[in-house]
């Protein structure tokens, strides 16, 4: 059994896999991490290995406790990966994006795959049918756009995420919702269209915290999978364990 630890910008995802089967998944705050890992270890005593992917800072104390309890693999650009990385600055490539590409290679071998992760940021990552990672794009996520409108202006309110009734906003609230939500939807649809024009038989995966909200509204054909990154991390752990 494998323990997967994904330290994101806002929350930490914990998951337990037995081979390729996801047995457990939960979201925790940083202050809950130690207790939740202890509980998971008690519930799944056969866990021997763990992988940690961190785009945010984890305390040295928390890191050492994880390392002392499991055979730990820390995901970084030096870890063995199942694809050819053509990114011109591989050391700056986020570990979350590495995991998403590994999931794409594992789930859709020899395919052109675009992975869209809609979370704090929206990332686009592309791996071609020759198993080559070419790169992608990074843009602000939904919540970041709402916060930017509020924090960088004098009078615009901070709103909760809401699907607008119409693309023409007839109030400040509706105009903000329209600008943010339709802006994101049109951006994603536009990026997918651009990739499809250049790469045939494109498979598109949508994942991340906002994937469920967005998937129902997108015009393009996609596969929504909220656990895609966790699957990628599990695959990397297995790949580096010679299984």
In the annotated binding site for ATP, the residues are: 6-13, 120
- Binding site for substrate, by residue number, is 87, 94-97, 172
Please say if 96 is a catalytic residue.
Answer: yes
**Measured distance CA(13)–CA(34) in Å, rounded:** 13
**34 with 16: CB under 8 angstroms?**
no
Beta bridge partners of 14: 5, 26
- The DSSP symbol for 182 reads I
**Measured distance CA(178)–CA(156) in Å, rounded:** 14
Would you call 235 helix, strand, or coil by DSSP? helix
Of 96, 125, 165, 201, the active-site residue reads: 96
Tokens of 76: 């970084």
Closest CA to 136 of 156, 114, 168: 114
**Measured distance CA(29)–CA(7) in Å, rounded:** 10
Q: What CA dihedral angle connects 152, 181, 201 and 111, to 10 degrees? A: 60
- Binding site, by residue number, is 6-13, 87, 94-97, 117, 120, 172
**Measured distance CA(102)–CA(112) in Å, rounded:** 13
**Is the four-CA dihedral 12, 13, 16, 20 of positive or negative sign?**
negative
**Measured distance CA(132)–CA(141) in Å, rounded:** 26
- Binding site for K(+), by residue number, is 117
The residues carrying an active-site annotation are 96
């Amino acid at each position: 059994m494998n323990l997967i630890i994904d330290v994101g910008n806002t929350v930490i995802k914990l998951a337990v896999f037995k081979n390729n089967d996801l047995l457990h998944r939960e979201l925790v705050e940083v202050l809950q991490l130690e207790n939740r890992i202890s509980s998971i270890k008690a519930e799944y005593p056969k866990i021997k290995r763990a992988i940690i992917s961190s785009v945010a800072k984890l305390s040295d104390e928390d890191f050492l406790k994880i390392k002392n309890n499991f055979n730990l693999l820390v995901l970084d650009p030096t870890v063995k990966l199942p694809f050819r990385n053509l990114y011109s600055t591989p050391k700056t490539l986020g570990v979350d994006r590495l995991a998403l590409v590994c999931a794409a290679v594992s789930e859709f071998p020899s395919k052109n795959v675009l992975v869209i992760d809609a979370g704090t940021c929206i990332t686009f990552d592309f791996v071609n049918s020759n198993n080559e990672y070419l790169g992608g794009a990074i843009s602000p996520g939904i919540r970041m756009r709402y916060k930017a409108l509020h924090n960088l202006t004098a009078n615009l309110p901070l709103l909760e995420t809401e699907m607008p009734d119409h693309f023409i906003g007839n109030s400040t609230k509706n105009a903000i919702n329209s600008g943010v939500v339709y802006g994101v939807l049109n951006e994603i649809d536009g990026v997918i269209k651009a990739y499809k024009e250049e790469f045939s038989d494109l498979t598109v995966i949508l994942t991340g915290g906002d994937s469920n909200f967005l998937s129902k509204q997108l015009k393009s054909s996609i596969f929504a999978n909220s656990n895609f990154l966790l699957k990628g991390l599990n695959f990397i752990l297995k790949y580096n364990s010679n299984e």
